């Protein structure tokens, strides 16, 4: 990555460009792809009927889709065997802690040295309240949850060219934008420019709502004073005793807010998937995978690399290698198979499947993303800046700084120091893990100058270089989904696919859960027939 960071297109700007170029249908498909346009239809009472006597199912991959598939099949009475490439369950449902080791493609290895109790989720890190499937398994299996703070009004919004590169408090920028726009609309109403649209009663109601919404004074103005300060904050904060009344900072003008280009990044919690409340498992996201793996029992064979999948009218056979003892090909057979391997990996496996399913597998690319976890010896974001949880956004290549929503007032802490995607992710992926950490530190110091003095240790995961996934999540185009998605969901002989790639909620664990429930339902119907 060059030392001069190139600006990256934000997701919002990309969607706007897509809409102008391809229309609203393409935008909706992209929103679905990003997990922003679908609510989960998962049912709390999901279950299969009784399995045919002696029926055997092979599940490939022990990520969330594979674990849910195995769990539900075993509940129904199927004999289940799982093969998993890694030495742990969960797939991208993954948590790094002190003592862990991770080796990416190319051989670069990292040893995690986080302090006891500290952790970093390189994959999923939050669960929306309406992801009923994931939350349902957490409830059933006793996975303790705690709130995940998505929006923190005291966090920062930062732009390299905005306000001289000085980070702005989210609450200040949001209050000023909302106040200035409310004042502008109030003037339109007061000048009777909406007489043909609204009745006089509705105009009066609108004015009253704007005064409340925008913190306007009695004259409908957004001005420095007590009313505005209740939204954007005081400087300094009011105190007790005989101290003088706190001064009121001058709000930013609408031109300054718009010219900064930061107003479009005030929607961290407005998207359906990010609306509060959100949750996280206590102690790390992999608590979900570990609970499912415990419920499935000893039927998971780890360190098994699938090399070939064959099927005929009698059953399915998978060839695999034991990575602990490479060189000797092994095989396992069953009556049926649920394959949850990422399509990026499955496309390289020899399979006996229909040409239509092969075309569907080959049609899907994978989104690039990089996450960097940074441990600091002091929680300066809490002590110095009063930031407890939440997210700061920036147009720097790191894109995001995520503050932990747990262990408040502890001595140490681990930040999400970078969540780079798209072109920024490819730039980070080209660096060594140590260079990614250094780059995250260099860029993050523009927002938090305490970085250099407080840094202790970092871990960097570039998902395109992860040997078990070769990418972060499935990236469907509208054309590919229209042409291949239905085929991807069908039974193909005695085999069916599952995973976030086989859902309308890609990139989310809920997509993996829903696809697993679909797959076991389809398999059970065919096996029972």
**Is residue 28 pLDDT above 80, yes or no?**
no
Domain containing residue 307: CATH number: 3.50.50.60
Please tell me the total count of domains within the chain.
3
Predicted confidence (pLDDT) per residue in 302-347, tens digit: 999 999 999 999 999 999 999 999 888 999 999 999 999 999 999 9
Predicted confidence (pLDDT) per residue in 365-422, tens digit: 999 999 999 999 999 999 999 999 999 999 999 999 999 999 999 999 999 999 999 8
Q: What is the mean pLDDT of the chain?
A: 90
Domain-located, residue 411: yes
Q: What is the pLDDT of residue 242?
A: 55
Q: At what angle do helices 355-362 and 478-489 cross, to 10 degrees?
A: 140
Number of H helices, E strands in the chain: 17, 25
Q: What is the pLDDT of residue 26?
A: 39
Predicted confidence (pLDDT) per residue in 193-245, tens digit: 988 898 999 999 999 999 999 989 999 998 888 888 888 887 666 555 555 55
Q: What is the pLDDT of residue 43?
A: 82
Q: What is the pLDDT of residue 243?
A: 56
Give the pLDDT mean for 64-77.
Answer: 97
355 and 484 in a common domain: yes
Identify the residue whose tokens are 């002190």. Answer: 98
Q: What is the pLDDT of residue 58?
A: 98
217 and 174 in a common domain: yes
439 and 376 in a common domain: yes
Q: What is the pLDDT of residue 245?
A: 58
All residues at 6 or more sequence positions from 489 whose CB lies less than 8 Å from its CB, including other chains: 496, 497, 502, 515, 518, 522
Alpha carbon distance 365, 452 (integer Å): 37
Angle at 366 between CA 363 and CA 369, to 5 degrees: 170
Domain-located, residue 15: no
Share of the chain above pLDDT 90, in %: 79
300 and 437 in a common domain: no
Predicted confidence (pLDDT) per residue in 445-503, tens digit: 999 999 999 999 999 999 999 999 999 999 999 999 999 999 999 999 999 999 999 99
- Check residues 240 and 517 and name the one with the higher pLDDT: 517
Q: What is the pLDDT of residue 409?
A: 97
Q: What is the pLDDT of residue 18?
A: 42
Q: What is the pLDDT of residue 45?
A: 81
Q: What is the pLDDT of residue 123?
A: 97
Domain-located, residue 224: yes
Domain-located, residue 30: no
Q: What is the pLDDT of residue 357?
A: 97
* Number of residues that this document lists for the chain: 529
**Is residue 128 pLDDT above 60, yes or no?**
yes
Please report which helix (H) or strand (E) contains residue 328, including its range.
Answer: none
Q: Single out the residue of 74, 59, 57 nearest to residue 304, CA to CA.
A: 59
Q: What is the pLDDT of residue 529?
A: 86
Domain-located, residue 104: yes
Share of the chain above pLDDT 70, in %: 90
Identify the residue whose tokens are 């990416």. Answer: 104
Which band of pLDDT confidence, cut at 50, 70 and 90, is reported for residue 287?
Answer: very high
Residue 204: give the domain boundaries.
Answer: 170-235+251-260
Domain containing residue 231: CATH number: 1.20.1440.240
Total-model pTM: 0.88
State how far the alpha carbon of 246 is from the alpha carbons of 215, 235, 239, 241, in Å.
18, 6, 8, 12
Predicted confidence (pLDDT) per residue in 245-255, tens digit: 566 778 888 99
């Amino acid at each position: 990555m060059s030392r001069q960071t190139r600006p990256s297109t934000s997701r919002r700007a990309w969607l706007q460009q897509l809409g102008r170029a391809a229309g609203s249908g393409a935008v909706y498909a992209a929103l679905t792809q990003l997990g922003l346009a679908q609510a989960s239809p998962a049912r709390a009472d999901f279950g299969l009927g009784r399995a045919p006597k002696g029926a055997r199912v092979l599940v490939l991959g022990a990520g969330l889709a594979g674990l849910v598939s195995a769990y539900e099949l075993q509940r129904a009475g199927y004999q289940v065997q799982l093969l998993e490439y890694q030495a742990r369950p969960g797939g991208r449902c993954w948590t790094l802690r002190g003592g862990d080791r991770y080796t990416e493609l190319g051989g670069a290895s990292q040893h995690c040295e986080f302090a006891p109790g500290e952790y970093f989720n390189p994959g999923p890190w939050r669960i929306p309240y309406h992801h009923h499937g994931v939350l349902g398994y957490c409830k059933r299996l006793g996975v303790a949850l705690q709130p995940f703070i998505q929006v923190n009004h005291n966090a920062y919004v930062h732009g390299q060219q905005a306000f001289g590169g000085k980070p702005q408090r989210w609450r200040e920028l949001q209050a000023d934008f909302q106040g200035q726009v409310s004042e502008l609309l109030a003037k339109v109403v007061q000048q009777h420019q909406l007489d043909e649209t609204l009745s006089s009663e509705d105009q009066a109601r609108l004015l009253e709502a704007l005064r409340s919404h925008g913190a306007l004074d009695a004259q409908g103005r957004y001005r420095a004073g007590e009313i505005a300060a209740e939204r954007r904050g005081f400087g300094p904060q009011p105190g007790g005793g005989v101290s003088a009344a706190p001064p009121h900072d001058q709000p930013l003008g609408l031109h300054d807010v718009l010219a900064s280009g930061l107003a479009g990044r005030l929607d961290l919690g407005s998207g359906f998937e990010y609306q509060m409340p959100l949750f996280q498992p206590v102690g790390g996201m992999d608590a979900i995978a570990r609970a499912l793996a415990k419920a499935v029992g000893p039927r998971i064979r780890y360190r098994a690399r699938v090399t070939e999948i064959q099927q005929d009218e009698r059953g399915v056979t998978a060839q695999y290698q034991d990575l602990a003892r490479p060189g000797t090909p092994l095989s396992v057979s069953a009556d049926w198979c649920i394959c949850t391997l990422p399509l990026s990996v499955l496309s390289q496996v020899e399979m006996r499947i229909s040409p239509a399913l092969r075309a569907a597998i080959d049609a899907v690319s994978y989104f690039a993303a990089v996450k960097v976890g940074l441990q600091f010896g002091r929680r300066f974001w809490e002590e110095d800046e009063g930031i407890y949880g939440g997210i700061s956004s920036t147009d720097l290549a790191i894109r995001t700084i995520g503050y932990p929503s747990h262990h408040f007032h502890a001595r140490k802490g681990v930040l999400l120091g970078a969540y780079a995607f798209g072109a920024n992710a490819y730039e980070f992926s080209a660096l060594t893990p140590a260079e990614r950490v250094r780059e995250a530190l260099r860029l993050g110091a523009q927002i938090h100058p305490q970085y250099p003095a407080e840094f202790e240790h970092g871990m960097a995961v570039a998902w395109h270089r992860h040997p078990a996934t070769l990418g972060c999540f499935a990236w469907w185009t509208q054309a590919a989904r229209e042409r291949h998605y239905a085929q991807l969901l069908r039974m193909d002989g005695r085999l069916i696919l599952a995973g976030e790639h086989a859902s309308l909620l890609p990139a989310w664990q809920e997509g993996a859960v829903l696809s697993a429930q679909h797959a076991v339902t389809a398999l059970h119907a065919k096996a029972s027939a």
